[in-house]
Amino acid sequence: MSWSKLKQNLESFLSPALQGRVEYRATSYRYLPDKAGSCYIAVDKKNVFNMSDRTTLIKWYQAELEIKNDSGIQIPISNEEIEVLRKETKGLVPEDRLLVIARSRKLSELAKELLSAQSSLSKSNFIVVANKFLSTPLEESLESNDILMNILALVDRRLGKKRILNMAEKIKLKHPIVQYFYAIRLSKL
């Protein structure tokens, strides 16, 4: 599918509140056939998401330690997770330490997922992922580990107000760029 047709399809799925604000853009190099063009997403005429560019407005993590030390990441810990830890430690660890251990474990897991998603995103092709999004149900796109699939699903007009509001906890576990687009969509409800 040509870029213009793909762009038209993607924009037809944009939420009415975001039309004109969110744009899909591409650059190509006419005289350099071996040099691939790049695709990016702009919000209010500012490039906020370019898969290969680390200078965008959103933080890209370089290491697991950065994710663990990021105070902006809030991890919800359930009582069931605390109970599992309590059984593992046979009740020998104080309550406040159980919470720290559970948070640390979840952060390690999240860090691995985020770094994996980032690395696959920088290697992926925007056009391939966008075509996959157009042929995938919205629910699968939201649950996907692919950052770009999450973004395209969040700005989709088929995503209703109730579902957006119910996603708040899940979004906290996603990459900052996904949280950014969630905040944009939430502000336009």
User: Could you read off the pLDDT tens digit of each residue along the chain, which spans 189 residues?
Assistant: 777 888 899 999 999 989 989 998 877 655 555 455 567 788 998 888 776 544 444 556 667 777 777 777 777 888 888 888 888 888 888 888 888 888 888 888 877 777 666 665 544 477 888 889 999 999 999 998 888 899 999 999 999 899 999 998 888 888 888 889 999 999 877
**pTM of the complete model:** 0.66
CA distance 69 to 104: 10
- The number of C-alpha atoms within 13 Å of 1 and in the hemisphere containing its C-beta is 17
Domain ranges of the chain: 3-62+115-187, 64-103
CA distance 82 to 103: 10
Residue 14: strand pairing partners: 156
